[in-house]
Each structure stands twice: as structure tokens, then as C-alpha cells.
Structure 1
């Protein structure tokens, strides 16, 4: 697959289908690769991407520090994730696009819409990640990583990364840069040589910055309340995708529709049809 420079990040991406552009922020947490649209949870069952490409030019990509994309050793924010998506639009010569986020990708899509509404035609926010248990789970994951670094040092994180194929979600001791530790030898050397206290401060601050609330992280509610971008919100139904997260977005977004259908009733016929109905309404 091609690689593009997006906000200075080598970004692995794929373009499929024909029609208006649809930029898709992948599900999968800290393992948000473009394959998630076909392989992760509900998205595998619904075959959303296969059906969307019949009507739209779908741009999927690996989020920074995920899959085959690059990254940087810095305190990453939701705005950093959004800039990668915006940079990819720029590289592809796309002035305005529909956005679709799955899971954690909803936060990035919403931040991009808040920061650059002139570039966004609409948003589909599918099963947004959020809720009190989601926040607690993310903070616990970072605490376990930081404790491992404090006890063993950064060089041991690099060594552990080379001994397993697991990601940060499955093995918290590895931390959020594990994919780059395996794929980029120069990055791994810089990582191991970083001042440990500086690293601990950065990573602890990253956890606080990314997961600072008990609902959908990312955009501030006051910014959502003044955002004139049409949105379709589809709720999830588990501890990482609390139904309350979807209702929060519906409350905040002035031009939002909530497809309030239980996950078990979101099928490979009904879900793509509802998304296409919404997008088609925006187009008309």
C-alpha cells in the first residue's frame, strides 16, 4: 500500500471506490490500522467498508503509531491525530470530505471537524468510544506501562517489544509506541536512550490529556455545541463504547441524528443502508 507524508508522519493508506470522498478514522484503539474496518468487532460483521466503496471514495489509513504508519516520541493529543488525517487530505488533493470514525476514531473525527469545519461535509460517528469504564481502563493501561518503565527502564520495554507480537491494548507494559519499537530500529534506539524521568512525565501527561473525562474524549463540549456539521451517531453497547457516549454526542451536536438501534439489530443490511441514507441526504 502507498505511504504518504501526513503532518510529517509516514502514513500507510488505501483509496478505494468512486464518488465523493469519505475519510475514515479506523477503530481499534492504540492498534487503529486500516484493516480494522474489515477485521475488528462489529465492523467485520457489518461489512461497512465493502458497501460504502460502491458509492464513495473511501480513504482508510493507519493511525500514527499503528500498523504501517510512523510516529514521533511526544505527548500525543487528539489534535495530533486529527492533523494526520488533515495532512492526508492535503496530500491527496481533497478539499472537503465526509468523515467517518469507528470506536476511538470518532474522537479524532470530531476534533478535525471542530478545528477545520470548512474541510468537513458531515460526520458518521459509529460506536463512539467513551464512558467511565473506558476512561478507567485507559488510565489503568498507562499506569501498568509506567510502573514497568520505572522498575525496569526503557531498554527493557524495547526488549519486551521484540519478544511478542502483542500491542499496547493486549500487553500494557509495552506502551503506546510498541509498533514503532518493532519496525523502526533508529526509533527504538532513541526510545531506549531517552531520559527516563522525562519519558515518564510525557507518557503520564499523554494519558491525562487523551482520557480526561467520563464520556467521549477529544473535543470540548462547548465547541461541539457550536459546530454546524451534520452528524449521524450510532451507539455502541459495552464497557468501552457506552451508550451514554453516543447520547452525549447527540446532546452536544446541533445537527446530529441518533440511530438508536441496539448493536444486535445493527446488521450488514440495515447499518450500511442507514449510513448511506444519511450521507445521501447531506449530498442532496
Structure 2
């Protein structure tokens, strides 16, 4: 049986997840690892995953940071509001999470959709961000029509099976898929459990996002990590971000989309080298 408790800030806990209420009443699930005295590092996920996508990194990162990871609205332990979500709302979810936890500034590492959120924060809330890492992401993934088609397909499908296979094919190299690598199976289970309304809501946020010009306003030290074989957010997208954000550094790994999973050692070297 799950037990919960509430503190003075309205933050309540249940098992290993904690929850805060966003400004519109949505419940955002989060987890913290690491000692209270360390600098805070926020981790933000890919669409179609939960905060568990960072499990391989937590032991090492929590040696150096107080690691805060969370589930997007519509995914994992967070609630699933109806309708389309916006990048603005996803960014404000992070700000409100930091506010609820009394965190003034933090490093931020976002992968894929998490990288979109990181760019939004760098543009709109630079005073809350120390160093910014944007991994396997883009500033624009339009046009809208393919996303509208995906949204319709997800909402009409009987389950997540077909969508899960699409994601896995985009995320991992063929040998890992063919071998039924245990890591791939973990992500398949994660995908199959995703709420389809939540996925459709997040697809809409990506569909409507265009940060290509405004990321020139990002003033925080920024590292961009690309996957050379990424078919979702191509390496050219990362190159464009690194060329547009003043002073940004670029690291290219021989990965597909989930660089942290496919090349965990090299990924961690890049992250820790930049943050420390």
C-alpha cells in the first residue's frame, strides 16, 4: 500500500516519487538523489520516457550533485491534463518545481524534449539556470502536419504497441534492437505504459515549438551533445544550436538518439567535464 505525507510547501511524497502541484493544478512527479549540500542538477527526459531514463547516470551524478529529475505532465507519475500542451507550460512546470523546493538556481541537462525545455529556460528564465546542457535535441522539428498525423494515430490506436516500436527504431541502433538488449526492453516497457493522451499532448508541444531565432538570447554557459547517427534530432540540428547560442560548445558522440544510454561513459565524461 502506498503512503503519502504533505509538508508546509504542499509537496507530498509517495513511495520513491514526490509530487508538487503546478500553477494549473497538474501534479508533477519528481525524485531527488544526492546530498542536500551539493549543487542542484535538473535532468529532463525525452518524450515517451519517464525519469527512469536517467537511472544509469544517477549513481555517478549524485556523487557531485543533488540530482532532481521529474516526469513531464502526461508521462510517468505526473498527471495527464486533457488537450495539447505547450513548451511554455512545460518550462513553467520546471520553474514552479524549483520554486516549490526552494531552489533558486540549478544546472539543467535536457535530452530531446528535455532539451527543448532547456532552451526555453535559457531564453525565459536565465536567472534560474547556472550551466545548460542540451543533448540530442533541436530548436525546431516542424512542419506541423507529421505531428498532427502522429497525434491522430496515437489517439486512434488500440494501445501503445505500434508507437513503441516506432520510438525504439528511432532511438537505438539496429544491432541493439535485433539482440533484444535488456536496456531496449526496459525502454519498451516504459513506452508501453505511457498514457496516449499525455503523449499526444507532448507531441503538440514539440509541433508548435520554434526556438531557432530566440536561442541567440541564451546567455548561460551551454554544452550541446549530438548523436552522429540521430535520425530524430539530427546532428545538424545540434550544430545549428551550437552556432546560434553565444559561446556554446559542441560534442558529437557516435550515437543514435539516447546518447546517455548508448554511450554512457563518453556521455558522462562530457557532462561532468562541462559542469565541473
TM-score by shorter chain over 0.5:
yes
The alpha-carbon deviation at position 209 of structure 1 amounts to: 5.9
* Partner residue, 2:44: 25
Question: How many residue pairs align between the two structures?
Answer: 227
Kept after mapping to 2: 8 A contact 1:167/1:178 = no
The alpha-carbon deviation at position 131 of structure 1 amounts to: 7.4
Question: Highest Rg: 1 or 2?
Answer: 1
**Residues 1-43 of structure 1: per-residue CA shift (max 9 Å, x gap):** 211113332111100013101111112x1x23111223xxxxx
* Partner residue, 1:16: 33
* Partner residue, 1:210: 206
* Partner residue, 1:73: 82
The alpha-carbon deviation at position 177 of structure 1 amounts to: 5.6
SS at 2:213's partner residue?
Answer: helix
Q: Is residue 5 from structure 1 mapped to residue 21 from structure 2 by the alignment?
A: yes
* Partner residue, 1:221: 212
The alpha-carbon deviation at position 270 of structure 1 amounts to: 2.6
Kept after mapping to 2: 8 A contact 1:131/1:242 = no
Which has the larger strand fraction? 2
TM-score by length of 1: 0.69
User: Which deviates more, 2-11 or 256-265?
Assistant: 256-265
* Partner residue, 1:273: 269
Which has the larger helix fraction? 1
The alpha-carbon deviation at position 109 of structure 1 amounts to: 1.2
The alpha-carbon deviation at position 77 of structure 1 amounts to: 0.9
Kept after mapping to 1: 8 A contact 2:86/2:204 = no
Kept after mapping to 1: 8 A contact 2:20/2:29 = yes
**Residues 191-214 of structure 1: per-residue CA shift (max 9 Å, x gap):** xxxxxxxxxxxx89x8666325xx
The alpha-carbon deviation at position 245 of structure 1 amounts to: 1.4
The alpha-carbon deviation at position 124 of structure 1 amounts to: 0.8
**Which whole-Å CA distance do the structure 2 matches of 1:256 and 1:277 have between them?**
14
Gaps of 5+ in 2: 1-16, 168-191
CA gap 1:144/1:241 in 2 versus in 1, 3 angstroms: same
**Which whole-Å CA distance do the structure 2 matches of 1:144 and 1:134 have between them?**
17
**Which whole-Å CA distance do the structure 2 matches of 1:89 and 1:168 have between them?**
32
TM-score by length of 2: 0.70
